């Protein structure tokens, strides 16, 4: 038996929308900035891969600087973000381009949490880098007026599912010798399956079981699942706390999940996913 979950927002099943306005506004601000970074990053990726046409490379940089100023968010940029947006065209390093999948997944989750989208692409569909998530946000940020958001009750199942994916993928990767697990990996995976999969079977990703995926597909899915788990936990924490704290801009998600891995994998997303 296989298991595939599609996630929609069901208003009737949600807890009361009581998120503080300043928290929603902060998430809205982050969504606009992430959208702008993705637009700029796509151009930088094209430049890196020699796909930019004519003068388009200078237009994108100028347009994004103007866009953020018009949205009143130039002062809201974190120092690292300001450096990237202001950098001369073609000056993003490979390690900076490697943040693109992380920003994409964060924005994908934020769009769902802010109810811009009613649908969150499930991990069973193997979400990849998709610049279209910037969509209308990058065209007219001021038009995104969010007044309500999902609540921790709505987000926890997504976080838990991402955690389950992370453990299952890590176990498959360890069997192939792609990572070096601690002794706790199989123990944690067994505990997770008792509580999560007792009646649901194994994960299926685009019609294939995890053991049928290529190494590159496993690496990519592993990173996306880690990012989703980490960012959903961050959002839950902000919705449950008094005040908000920035999500570390340049921080990779914590891949040392519950002590099951000895260290975060050294391989960059670019080398495993063919991004650059």
pLDDT higher at 203 or 84: 84
* Confidence (pLDDT) at 188: 74
Q: Are residues 100 and 166 in the same domain?
A: no
On whether the pTM is more than 0.75, the answer is yes
Kindly state the average pLDDT of the residues 170-182. 84
pLDDT higher at 49 or 192: 49
User: Computed over its alpha carbons, how large is the radius of gyration of the chain?
Assistant: 19
Phi and psi based region of residue 58 (left: phi greater than 0; alpha: psi -120 to 50; beta: remaining)? alpha
Mean pLDDT for all residues in the chain: 80
| Tally of domains in the chain | 2
pLDDT of 76 higher than 90: yes
Q: Is residue 6 part of a domain?
A: no
Q: Are residues 171 and 260 in the same domain?
A: yes
pLDDT of 192 higher than 60: yes
Q: Is residue 2 part of a domain?
A: no
Token pair for residue 77?
A: 């940029």
Q: Are residues 169 and 204 in the same domain?
A: yes
Q: Are residues 89 and 188 in the same domain?
A: no
Q: Is residue 15 part of a domain?
A: no
Q: Are residues 171 and 134 in the same domain?
A: no
Q: Are residues 157 and 42 in the same domain?
A: no
Kindly state the average pLDDT of the residues 174-195. 75
DSSP 147-187: -----HHHHHHHHHHHHHHHHHHHHHHHHTTSS-B-THHHH
pLDDT digits (tens, 9 = 90+) for 98-107: 999 999 999 9
* Separation between Cα atoms, residue 61 and residue 41, nearest integer Å: 10
Token pair for residue 44?
A: 């930088």
Q: Is residue 104 part of a domain?
A: yes
pLDDT higher at 196 or 144: 144
The whole domain housing 266 covers 152-273
Domain boundary, last residue among 143, 174, 195: 143
Q: Are residues 160 and 177 in the same domain?
A: yes
* Confidence (pLDDT) at 8: 44
pLDDT digits (tens, 9 = 90+) for 240-276: 887 788 886 644 554 444 444 444 444 443 344 444 4
Q: Are residues 137 and 158 in the same domain?
A: no
In angstroms, how far is the first alpha carbon of the chain from the final one?
Answer: 37
> Which of 107, 115, 126 lies closest to 34 in space, CA to CA?
107
Q: Is residue 14 part of a domain?
A: no
* Confidence (pLDDT) at 11: 44
Q: Are residues 111 and 173 in the same domain?
A: no
Question: For residues 85 and 36, is the Cβ–Cβ distance under 8 A?
Answer: yes
Q: Is residue 197 part of a domain?
A: yes
Q: Are residues 116 and 29 in the same domain?
A: yes
pLDDT digits (tens, 9 = 90+) for 132-167: 999 889 887 766 777 889 999 999 999 999 988 988
Q: Is residue 186 part of a domain?
A: yes
SS3 264: coil
Question: For residues 234 and 30, is the Cβ–Cβ distance under 8 A?
Answer: no
pLDDT digits (tens, 9 = 90+) for 2-47: 334 444 444 444 444 578 889 999 999 999 999 999 999 999 998 8
Q: Is residue 9 part of a domain?
A: no
pLDDT band (50, 70, 90) for residue 174:
confident
Q: Are residues 111 and 178 in the same domain?
A: no
């Amino acid at each position: 038996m296989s298991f595939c979950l599609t996630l929609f927002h069901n208003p009737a099943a949600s807890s009361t929308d009581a998120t503080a306005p300043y928290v929603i506004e902060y998430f809205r601000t982050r969504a606009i900035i992430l959208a702008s970074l993705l637009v700029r990053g796509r151009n930088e990726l094209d430049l890196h891969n020699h796909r930019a046409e004519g003068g388009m490379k200078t237009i994108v940089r100028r347009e994004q600087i103007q866009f953020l100023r018009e949205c009143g968010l130039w002062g809201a940029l974190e120092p690292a973000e300001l450096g990237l947006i202001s950098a001369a065209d073609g000056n993003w390093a490979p390690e900076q381009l490697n943040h693109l999948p992380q920003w994409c997944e964060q924005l994908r989750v934020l769009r769902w949490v802010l109810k811009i989208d009613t649908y969150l692409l499930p991990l069973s569909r193997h979400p990849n880098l998709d610049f279209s998530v910037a969509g209308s946000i990058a065209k007219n940020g001021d038009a995104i007026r969010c007044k309500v958001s999902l609540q921790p009750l709505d987000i926890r199942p997504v976080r838990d599912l991402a955690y389950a994916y992370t453990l299952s993928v890590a176990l498959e990767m360890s069997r192939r010798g792609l990572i070096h697990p601690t002794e706790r990996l199989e123990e944690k995976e067994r505990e997770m399956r008792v509580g999560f999969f007792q009646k649901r079977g194994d994960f299926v990703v685009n019609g294939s079981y995890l053991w049928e995926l290529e190494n590159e597909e496993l690496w990519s899915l592993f990173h996306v699942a880690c990012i989703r788990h980490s960012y959903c936990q961050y959002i839950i924490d902000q919705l449950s706390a008094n005040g908000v704290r920035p999500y570390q801009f340049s921080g990779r998600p914590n891949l040392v999940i519950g002590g099951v891995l000895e260290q975060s994998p050294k391989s960059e997303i670019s080398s495993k996913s063919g991004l650059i």
